[in-house]
Structure 1
């Protein structure tokens, strides 16, 4: 009985769990069509009788096999691929990471797009000619009970006579599931360290672009809305102040992140966070406006692009009549690295703490609930 109680207590304290193994078949297209000619490096048009392991396809789809290794599909006129996967028995959120490119480079227009859709979502992702490859993240939906989920990836263009070499190329797809997240004992915010988001690609060094998401429940950065375009960065390739991941605000023009939490009106709180640069040669004054409720503060860090970071904090009183207090970090400026890549300030390790008196009351309430749970289990 004691072992069972300990197990339940452990489950009660878990903050979340991410899983990304074997959710899709042939996600990187390394298994070629059986009918692919041996030693062929030319684009191979998939015909009606061909098969692509793990995937179904419609329209004009090419299989690409590079001479130096690497495999992908090109989605030409009305081209699309799809795969059905089974959701887990538990209700979980599903996040997708994928890479797209324009094989024609700068000679291609930027009108082409990739459309990703699932039963609960659809996203349109532009293919920019000047940028050979871009990695995106998307929230697909929330499912459980072994539901069959159809993932569809297709092409879209606004041109009636698009250049055949400019149709988008898709490769390196990763599907990840995340269980429900809850607050940690020492932080009123969920996912304040930004550890829960789309997976990073093993063959990518550029981070993951996240497009605008109005709802934190439908955002690939779990529990945070996205304003404008941001970059989700990892500690393997960037300077991340804390943990494995952080957010880089790259598009300026009121871009950033926002969340909201239930606070006790009239009580005092402190918002703590870290600002820095991603060690990506982003040089200059990087400015961020932090907001907690009705209190706004502007912060500027002087970046040399070498990975410096600085902690900040300010105090405020919760004043919302509804009890929901918005927390946000917004940048109004953007910059570029020496290679012409958009960059900006890095935000990480966001912690919202209650005043000492309120925090002690919350801790006692938490301990009392935990003791009651243990007592019920041990009866």
Structure 2
């Protein structure tokens, strides 16, 4: 009995510890990195005003270059740093970086969710790297007026330990100019498989990146062009540099299930998936559109494409929720058919014109139909 009680205690302890202290090969990673919210600050001797001194001065992280440990709110020189997910963040100056080694399962796919906000008027580019894969994230466009932009990046682990890095590639006249980083989380992605009943993989968007439970921001999905097959939204490809937004049912109105996609980039963003089809066979594509009950308003339109067919679906939004389902038939012209969706217009919130938004998309399905 004593052994059994010890085993139960160890299991509970492992679940309550940060993932880096538990057995990563038996645990499903879904939460903050060690000190991923930067609330564990440096020792007084390791910081001069806001500048971190020493490679390991930021607990759980390795730093390179000019990195500041900053608090949210008004700053010297008239700056204001929005840090909506806590009290502190890391600011990366010219060519500065922070990194952390993470225990993972080799061969598995992971997504990183993180908050990134520019702090100067100049263009700022944040390079995110893990396991030999990287992407450059242009963050000059702010999609949330409160500085709460949250992004996702996916990678496939090539070994049991990977180095996750965030690097400011910009060089500005002011060496401290650079992005704010906060709330960095990781999630292991569940593999997807085709079934006879569901030709569309992850058509309800239920499998996606980590969503912060205490912040109603959603997650912006931007994929590196050369790594489309490694997506933070399994099964789907974001076709441009403008993001789509991954939203959850806790903070937004979602037609079905726990998640959906908000098309915030207008015609500059398309989300697509390539499915298996039989040439000359008929199929029916159905999907749901609406608004996420987040103040996004106006005459919305989602355009859908499959093979040679196109459908434009209108939706009048008052920003108070609601949705509609649309469908059309198409004839496959090859053994692979690309499904594509985008918003025809640009939208902002009713009471916040600095906050980009758009129609939501959910419950995408394709079924074979008889002639």
- Equivalent residue of 2:229, what SS? helix
Contact 1:255/1:332 (CA < 8 Å) preserved in 2?
A: no
* Partner Cα separation in structure 2 for residue 326 and residue 100 of structure 1: 32
Equivalent of 1:122, from 119, 126, 134?
A: 134
Correspondences of 1:152-191 after superposition (within 5 Å): 152-159=165-172, 161-162=173-174, 164=176, 166-191=177-202
* Partner Cα separation in structure 2 for residue 309 and residue 25 of structure 1: 39
Partner of 2:79: none
Equivalent of 2:108, from 87, 92, 97?
A: 92
Q: 1:127 to 1:325 in 2, by over 3 A?
A: closer
Q: 1:356 to 1:43 in 2, by over 3 A?
A: farther
Say if 2:164 is the partner of 1:151.
yes
Partner of 2:68: 62
- Taking structure 2 as the reference length, the TM-score comes to 0.80
Correspondences of 1:1-379 after superposition (within 5 Å): 19-21=28-30, 24-35=33-44, 43-48=49-54, 51-65=57-71, 70-88=87-105, 91-103=107-119, 108-128=120-140, 131=145, 132-139=147-154, 141-143=155-157, 146-159=159-172, 161-162=173-174, 164=176, 166-214=177-225, 216-228=228-240, 229-320=243-334, 323-338=335-350, 339-340=352-353, 341-355=355-369
- Structure 1 runs, 4 residues or longer, greater than 4 Å off: 65-69, 212-216
Residue 185 of structure 1 deviates from its aligned partner by 4.6
* Partner Cα separation in structure 2 for residue 309 and residue 184 of structure 1: 27
Residue 331 of structure 1 deviates from its aligned partner by 2.1
Structure 1 gap segments, 5+ residues each: 1-17, 358-379
Residue 147 of structure 1 deviates from its aligned partner by 2.4
* Partner Cα separation in structure 1 for residue 318 and residue 54 of structure 2: 55
Contact 1:86/1:148 (CA < 8 Å) preserved in 2?
A: yes
Residue 163 of structure 1 deviates from its aligned partner by 6.7
* Partner Cα separation in structure 1 for residue 157 and residue 343 of structure 2: 34
Contact 2:256/2:362 (CA < 8 Å) preserved in 1?
A: yes
- Equivalent residue of 1:307, what SS? coil
Contact 1:137/1:208 (CA < 8 Å) preserved in 2?
A: yes
Q: 1:342 to 1:80 in 2, by over 3 A?
A: same
* Partner Cα separation in structure 2 for residue 158 and residue 333 of structure 1: 35
- Equivalent residue of 2:216, what SS? coil
* Partner Cα separation in structure 2 for residue 246 and residue 184 of structure 1: 21
- Equivalent residue of 2:267, what SS? coil
Question: Highest Rg: 1 or 2?
Answer: 1
Structure 2 gap segments, 5+ residues each: 1-26, 74-82
Q: Give per-residue Cα distances to partners, 1:99-136, cap 9 Å, x unaligned.
A: 02245xxxx30412221112332222234486433111
Q: Give per-residue Cα distances to partners, 1:163-222, cap 9 Å, x unaligned.
A: 73x422111000111131113452111111111221112343221111255554122221
Residue 247 of structure 1 deviates from its aligned partner by 0.8
* Partner Cα separation in structure 1 for residue 55 and residue 282 of structure 2: 67
* Partner Cα separation in structure 2 for residue 50 and residue 63 of structure 1: 13
Contact 2:292/2:360 (CA < 8 Å) preserved in 1?
A: yes
- Equivalent residue of 1:94, what SS? strand
Q: 1:335 to 1:274 in 2, by over 3 A?
A: same
* Partner Cα separation in structure 2 for residue 123 and residue 92 of structure 1: 19
